Amino acid sequence: MLRKFLVAGFALVLGTVLAALWWRIDGDRMPEFDYPESRQVPEPNAFDFLVEAAEAIPDHGKSIADAVSGTRDPETGEWRDPTLDQVRSAVEENRQALALIREGLQHPFHYPQLHRVLLGEGDYHFGAFRMAARLLTLEARLHAADERFDRAMESVLDCLELGRKIGTRSPFSGALTGIANHGIGAHDAPAIIPNLRQTELLDAIERLESLGEVPLEMAGIFASERVHGLKYLESIFSKSDWRLRLAESEQMYLDDSWYGRAEFTLWQRLQMRLRAWKYHQGKIVRTVDEMTSAVGEILEEPFSDREGRFPTPGRPLPPSLGENFIEAVPKVWFSVLVAQTTHEGLLATLALEAWRKKHGEYPERLEDLEPNLLSSVPRDPFALDQALRYRREDDTYLLYSIGPNGQDNGGEAMERPDEEDPIRRKVPRTDLPGDLVVGINLLRPPDE
């Protein structure tokens, strides 16, 4: 009897050990994965020129910042608005950087480095690239002040192209920089457009259309994020202590007091080792692949249908790999759609102004702009294949998108009544009712 009991116990222990080993071996079996884009970085790469341009800007761009935002009086402490002399000085001081930026615009952009996007870590280059956009807008303002409006529009379009290049082959942080650059460039367009001649309006339309239907494609951003994320996982898995690294990142995500800690107590180390047991390379990669595929399908639907549809990552992903990503996607998606709507609104604004200059009044319908002025009617990214809403009103017009709630409010602009700042009150947000109106929520005149 005892012998049978010992044999059964030994068989149970052996079976448990073998099952655990097989669970770990099978879990660490890496699946074959074809990256959706080439790992090869093009040469020459616009990224390198932009880095060189950022390094050529003296004093970390202080003159640019002062010319954009103004300066504080050292005696009174009052804030002084920037002067034209400050703008001129900043542009002249940074001619070399401007030349490098424009050289970069002649080449494709590809973010060349492994990026720790799944752990939410950014890259300082993208912050520097925003300085390039501000420099281009200062150049546009200088040209406008000198009444060289065609040159001013060229600087604006350079800034829009810069934003598109940065945003299309970068991880989320780069996409957000591209969106920001696009917004920085578009900000000065409303003050310039009425001063353009008919031929200059047509040239601007042609160049803006050549950038692509929209400035940024969420599908492209998402595919790039997927590649960068999986490449980063590969780099993590190459380390012998990768399980502990993921466990530590999870603990830092769950408890901010752990962040940046150099030493851990014995109990904390035991916690991390126990948590690390559940991580397996193959399972993590497969889960990331499944999660990103599910999100990719959602991105093909209207933004207003997003609520409750994003997957819950769960095990075997630590929150830093799954929840960070899922939380970031809707925010970036909304920012991309706003940038796309701004792009379409700018195309429509240029074409409407060209129509008015030729016919003396704005058209009855937005469809009248096609095909003489535009290759296609400007669309509403929040409404998928539908066009932007347009209505002529006496000697002006109303142009708007239905916005994130997917409902047509007749052009009633989105607004936050509890906000005192008149500009911030009209900034697009996902939780506000109303439409995104060109001239109010989008493409506001700079003096508003």
pLDDT tens-place string over residues 62-104:
999 999 988 877 777 788 889 999 999 999 999 999 999 999 9
Could you give phi then psi for residue 430, rounded to 5 degrees?
-75, -20
Position with higher pLDDT, 199 vs 31? 199
Q: Is residue 9 part of a domain?
A: no
At residue 309, does pLDDT exceed 60?
yes
Position with higher pLDDT, 47 vs 271? 47
Q: How does pLDDT run across 185-217, given as a tens digit for each residue?
A: 998 999 999 999 999 999 999 999 988 766 566
Q: Which of 3-7, 142-146, 180-184, 359-363 has the lowest mean pLDDT?
A: 3-7
d(CA 299, CA 292): 10
pLDDT value for 28: 54
* Stretch 131-151: mean pLDDT: 96
Q: Is residue 415 part of a domain?
A: no
Hey, which of 32-46, 181-195, 274-288, 316-330 has the most confident mean pLDDT? Answer: 181-195
pLDDT value for 4: 62
Strand pairing partners for 438? 442
pLDDT value for 447: 56
At residue 23, does pLDDT exceed 80?
no
**Do 49 and 107 meet the contact criterion of CB atoms below 8 Å apart?**
yes
Query: By percentage, how much of the chain surpasses pLDDT 70?
Result: 83
d(CA 16, CA 13): 5
Q: Is residue 281 part of a domain?
A: yes
* Stretch 216-226: mean pLDDT: 71
DSSP structure class, residue 429: -
d(CA 267, CA 273): 10
At residue 318, does pLDDT exceed 50?
yes
pLDDT value for 258: 56
pLDDT value for 240: 84
Range of the domain at 253: 239-332
Could you give phi then psi for residue 315, rounded to 5 degrees?
-70, 150
pLDDT value for 38: 46
Q: Which of 53-57, 167-171, 288-292, 366-370 has the lowest mean pLDDT?
A: 167-171
What is the number of domains present in the chain? Answer: 1
Nearest to 216 by CA among 164, 176, 170: 164
Hey, which of 105-109, 178-182, 201-205 has the most confident mean pLDDT? Answer: 201-205
At residue 29, does pLDDT exceed 70?
no
Position with higher pLDDT, 40 vs 345? 345
Nearest to 107 by CA among 49, 180, 155: 49
User: What is the CB-side half-sphere exposure of residue 345 using CA atoms within 13 A?
Assistant: 31
* Stretch 24-35: mean pLDDT: 50
Q: How does pLDDT run across 339-378, given as a tens digit for each residue?
A: 999 999 999 999 999 999 999 999 999 999 988 899 999 9
For the chain, helix (H) and strand (E) counts, in that order, are 15, 5
pLDDT value for 287: 84
Q: Is residue 221 part of a domain?
A: no
pLDDT value for 357: 95
409: its two tokens: 């409010």
Confidence of residue 116 (pLDDT cuts 50, 70, 90): very low
* Stretch 143-170: mean pLDDT: 92
**Do 179 and 336 meet the contact criterion of CB atoms below 8 Å apart?**
yes
What is the number of residues in the chain?
Answer: 448
Q: Is residue 447 part of a domain?
A: no
Q: Is residue 256 part of a domain?
A: yes
Q: Is residue 273 part of a domain?
A: yes
Whole-structure pTM value:
0.83
208: its two tokens: 């803006």
Measured CA to CA in angstroms, residue 358 lies from 31, 52, 351, 355 at distances of 61, 44, 11, 5
3-class SS letters over 144-156: HHCCCHHHHHHHH
Q: Is residue 276 part of a domain?
A: yes
At residue 388, does pLDDT exceed 80?
yes
Report the chain's mean pLDDT, rounded to a whole number.
Answer: 83
At residue 310, does pLDDT exceed 70?
yes
